[in-house]
Structure 1
Amino acid sequence: MKKASPFEIVAARCWNLLNEGKPFTPIFVIGVFLLYRIGEWSDMGFWSAAGLGLLITLPIFVIYYCFDFPLMLRNYLWLPLIAALLVWDHGSLSLYLLALGLFFFFTVYFWGTFYYHLRIGTSWWNFTRFWKLVLKNSDSTSGNAQEQMPKFLLLLLIWNHFYHVFYSTGTFEAFNAAQLLTPVIFAVCLWLYSYVLHANLFDWKPAENSPLTDKSGWPKSAVNEKVIVIVIDGMRKERFEEANAPFLKKLRAEGTEYAQMETVYPARTVVCFSSMFTGTYPREHGIRSNMVWKLGIKVESIFDSLRKVGKTGRLLGIAHLIDSMGNDVESVTAVMHNDVADRNIIERAKRIMEEQNPDLLVAQLIGVDQTGHSRGVLYDEYVQKIEEADRLIEEFVGWLENRGMMNNTTLLVCADHGQADGIGGHGHLDEGERFVPFFMHGPFIQQGLRIEEKHSLISIAPTLAYLLGAPVPSSSRGTVLSEAMKTK
């Protein structure tokens, strides 16, 4: 199986500029405005008027970049748009129709059909389902139509209005104080409106534990020789329960299950992996979305902890994870048909165990997540991918057992986040995202135990350190999952 090439790594970062909602909005608005007026580019008056209009609109861009409008908050985005229509003339209807057309072309055809066909082999007819998924989607990406539409329509309306004002007057000096005061008041009111909404209604983020991990009772030596962590990316908890996954459910029944295992916010893959393997929250490790502006986590990871005691760990995953975890990632290409993606990852995991024999292996299976994103989570294809993952994990564990690699090994199986309705959305913790499947199995793990108390995925890093006899990562705030461990 091929590694992610340097081109793919750069391309993945560029794609995140269009995929993540925050950078997409300004890029899309500027692109639509310039495309709409492409015939005026040779007129120098166009550039000065467009630049001045953009300057007036800039505070709105900043507000919409700083404030997400998750889940039901996106319904409140239409009120500022209605207010703007009452304050300023609506301008060019054709501009807004172009924006809507380009948005749905980008999300439904370019992304949902063309991109997924080239990358994972989705059908050329995927747009026939994908348009419905985009309209229902609630995540923090550009595919969240109900959040993106009122944002870009408002920005285009204000920018286009002041473009006309400056184009007709020709200078900023001709712009009187009353005309300048109106957009200033509007921006202040929009900021206050956004702040009040978030302060009073944005109340579903998981609570964050403030103390560092308690190191009392830390074992003097490793509990296990090895730990294998298999992360089934994007596996929704209730869909896992519906799937015919006998091996995984047998492992769960014979081990310890954490029934209320909670992911972090925002529930984006790179964010979740960073929290899982540092033991702390995005505010501390610095990774706040899949769009990583400054490469690398800002705190120690479990891989750093293992190096301190002469042990090794590898994270087998897609190129996105390199942005946070760097050289600890064994990258795999994400450009392959989704029907063979997880098979290839399992084969690569076997080779890593044969050639490197790390003390800790983390393997990210991507087929379930990619199916959810391209085909939706409430369809049969999604459950079928979970069942496929079950068979592949059974094969991998059997392969390890035949080589004696499971004799003193803990196996941890979980998801990094769930997936909501729509395009398998995740980020804002909509229904189906927050709680994930999580269970441990091994010779030192309690059998048939189900823990109902709520826990967080940040507990993975300190638990791995405990099992492998390594120091806990310095910024870890998770609790060791000691209930799952047998007492000697």
Structure 2
Amino acid sequence: MEKAKQASSFEKIAAWCWNLLNEGKPFTPIFAAGSFLLFHLGLFEDVRFWQSFASSLLVVIPLLIIYYLYDFPLFLRNYLWIPFIAYLLMFDTVNLGLLLFAAGLYFFFTVFFWGTFYYHLRIGTSWTNFTRFWKLVLKNSDSTSGNAQEQLPKLMLVLSVWSYAFSVFYNGGTFADIAAGQLIILYAGLFIYTFILHHYLFDWKPKPIETYTDNAEVPEKGMNDKVVVIVIDGMRKERFEEADTPYLDYLRKNGTEYAKMETVYPARTVVCFSSMFTGTYPFEHGIKSNMVWRFGVRTESIFDSLRKVGKKGKMLAVAHLVDAFGKDVETFTAVMKNDVVDYKIMEKAKQIMDEQDPELFIVQLISTDQTGHSRGVLYDEYLQKIKEADHLVKDFIGHLEKSGKAENTTFIICADHGQADGIGGHGHLDEGERIVPFFMYGPTIAKGKVVEEKHSLVSIAPTLSYLLGAPFPSHSRGPVLMDAVKKGSDQ
């Protein structure tokens, strides 16, 4: 089978641009402005329109800032309609046509453009995918453009205030004619209301480890010649338990499984990978969503640690991960049919191991995650992708065994995050996201052991350092996963 092609420069730029419409925070102002402009398309030749548009934009900017800073994660989204109701009670004007137009445009964008057209061109889903996707959008829980329960009430309030201010300016009014007192009360009330919700009701975010890694000293000589980490992106733990995965079951039963391995917050792919391979959290490594404004993690990564001892690490992943780890990532294109993408990734992985022979190799499989996003996690297609991943992992490890590169190698199999209901939502740690599959297998790893104590994915980086004899990354906070190390192997 033909190997996966490398992601082109155009794809890397396109992936970054797509995140402007995919991530919830930038989507809200972009879509609100786009809806407003399209609704008033017939006024574009009127100079008064652009003057009024610019003036009313200034009025609505404080509201956009509040919604950018606070995204109302998960259960807090239930409180988003209250500010809109407050607006309706305080102001006697609402542009019902604009609101209905925006709602219709929103569902066209998410259900048809994104859920059908985009996924058909990118991964080959059916042209009838909209018949399922509309239900997934209504159930989605993460902070993306596909979260109707978050985006719709935000858009209703933003567009209502915008339309009110625009009508004042367009009809000859000035800033003096704006009901400034009412707007100040609305904005101040919204800010206080939002602040209280996020600081006193948002209590499910995992607490970061306060100290840097200190539970072990790195051996002078690495325990392993190599470590291979295979990340099955978006594999929900309970669905993994249900899937037909004989080889993965063999690895975890003959290795050490961490039954309560917790992902980080927000559980977005680039954030999770950044935390996994720096050993710390977004407040330190600086990657806080898939939308990366400043490229590169701000702390040392495991790749930096390995370079200090003359060893090489390599990651095979989608273009998004270049934003965090730069040249340490060898990309593959994500624009290919979902039925073949993981197969081609693993063919490329074999080539990298044969030709580059890194001491640390990280492989990202994406088909399971893409199936969750395009078809949902509660369907048979999702289980089928996990089953296919099982076959591919077996084939890949078999290849390493034949070439002698598995002899003193530890294998780590995990997910970066789970997936919730809806369009495979992940980000705000809904049910199905927080606890991920995680197990280790190899000659220095304890066999048949299950660790029930809760751990975090930030432990991956220091554990890799420990196994390969490299210093811990500069800001590594996770403890080394010593429960998995055979007694006597660390001597």
Paired residues of 1:229 and 1:413 also in contact (CA < 8 A): yes
In 2, the alpha carbon distance for the partners of 1:486 and 1:374 equals 41
Question: What does 1:260-409 correspond to in 2, within 5 Å?
Answer: 260-409=260-409
Question: What does 1:151-166 correspond to in 2, within 5 Å?
Answer: 151-166=154-169
> Letter of the aligned partner of 1:54 in structure 2?
L
Structure 1 unpaired stretches of 5+: none
Paired residues of 2:218 and 2:465 also in contact (CA < 8 A): no
The residue number in structure 2 matching 1:483 is 483
1:175 Cα deviation from its structure 2 partner: 2.1
CA deviations 1:69-104 (Å, max 9, x no partner) are: 111211100010011111113432111111001100
SS of aligned partner of 1:419: coil
In 1, the alpha carbon distance for the partners of 2:312 and 2:78 equals 48
In 2, the alpha carbon distance for the partners of 1:271 and 1:89 equals 43
Q: Which range moved further: 232-241 or 159-168?
A: 159-168
1:215 Cα deviation from its structure 2 partner: 6.2
In 2, the alpha carbon distance for the partners of 1:215 and 1:295 equals 31
1:50 Cα deviation from its structure 2 partner: 1.6
Corresponding residue to 1:125 among 123, 128, 146: 128
Number of residue pairs the alignment of both structures matches? 485
Corresponding residue to 2:177 among 175, 178, 193: 175
Corresponding residue to 2:73 among 70, 74, 89: 70
1:216 Cα deviation from its structure 2 partner: 4.3
In 2, the alpha carbon distance for the partners of 1:90 and 1:405 equals 70
1:39 Cα deviation from its structure 2 partner: 1.1
CA deviations 1:270-324 (Å, max 9, x no partner) are: 0000000000000100000000011110000000000000000100000000001
1:417 Cα deviation from its structure 2 partner: 0.1
Paired residues of 1:117 and 1:124 also in contact (CA < 8 A): yes
> Letter of the aligned partner of 1:463 in structure 2?
T
Paired residues of 1:89 and 1:161 also in contact (CA < 8 A): no
1:207 Cα deviation from its structure 2 partner: 1.1
In 2, the alpha carbon distance for the partners of 1:74 and 1:446 equals 44
In 2, the alpha carbon distance for the partners of 1:142 and 1:362 equals 29
Paired residues of 2:12 and 2:319 also in contact (CA < 8 A): yes
> Is 1:201 matched with 2:201?
yes
> Is 1:41 matched with 2:51?
no
SS of aligned partner of 1:339: coil
Paired residues of 1:45 and 1:170 also in contact (CA < 8 A): no
1:217 Cα deviation from its structure 2 partner: 3.3
> Is 1:425 matched with 2:413?
no
> Letter of the aligned partner of 1:267 in structure 2?
A
> Letter of the aligned partner of 1:473 in structure 2?
P
In 1, the alpha carbon distance for the partners of 2:95 and 2:82 equals 20
1:171 Cα deviation from its structure 2 partner: 3.0
SS of aligned partner of 1:315: strand
CA deviations 1:99-122 (Å, max 9, x no partner) are: 001100000000000000000000
> Is 1:136 matched with 2:139?
yes
CA deviations 1:1-23 (Å, max 9, x no partner) are: 21000000000000000000000
> Is 1:60 matched with 2:93?
no
> Letter of the aligned partner of 1:48 in structure 2?
Q
1:60 Cα deviation from its structure 2 partner: 0.7
The residue number in structure 2 matching 1:416 is 416
SS of aligned partner of 1:122: coil
Structure 2 unpaired stretches of 5+: none
The residue number in structure 1 matching 2:459 is 459
The residue number in structure 1 matching 2:219 is 219
1:229 Cα deviation from its structure 2 partner: 0.4
SS of aligned partner of 2:413: strand
> Letter of the aligned partner of 1:229 in structure 2?
V
> Letter of the aligned partner of 1:284 in structure 2?
E
CA deviations 1:406-445 (Å, max 9, x no partner) are: 1100000000000000000000000000000000000000
In 2, the alpha carbon distance for the partners of 1:85 and 1:6 equals 47
The residue number in structure 1 matching 2:91 is 88
CA deviations 1:368-406 (Å, max 9, x no partner) are: 000000000000000000000000100111111011111
SS of aligned partner of 1:361: strand
Corresponding residue to 1:32 among 35, 49, 56: 35
> Letter of the aligned partner of 1:175 in structure 2?
D
SS of aligned partner of 2:111: helix
CA deviations 1:10-65 (Å, max 9, x no partner) are: 00000000000000000000001011111112111111222221111111100000
In 2, the alpha carbon distance for the partners of 1:375 and 1:278 equals 32
CA deviations 1:315-373 (Å, max 9, x no partner) are: 00000000011000000000000000100000000000010000000000000000000
Q: TM-score, normalized by length of structure 1? A: 0.98
> Is 1:102 matched with 2:117?
no
Paired residues of 1:264 and 1:272 also in contact (CA < 8 A): yes
SS of aligned partner of 1:169: coil
SS of aligned partner of 2:61: helix
Q: Which range moved further: 65-74 or 423-432?
A: 65-74
CA deviations 1:233-277 (Å, max 9, x no partner) are: 000000000001000011000000000000000000000000000
SS of aligned partner of 2:339: helix
User: Aligned-residue CA RMSD in angstroms?
Assistant: 0.9
> Letter of the aligned partner of 2:64 in structure 1?
F
SS of aligned partner of 2:80: helix
> Is 1:447 matched with 2:447?
yes
In 2, the alpha carbon distance for the partners of 1:402 and 1:42 equals 70
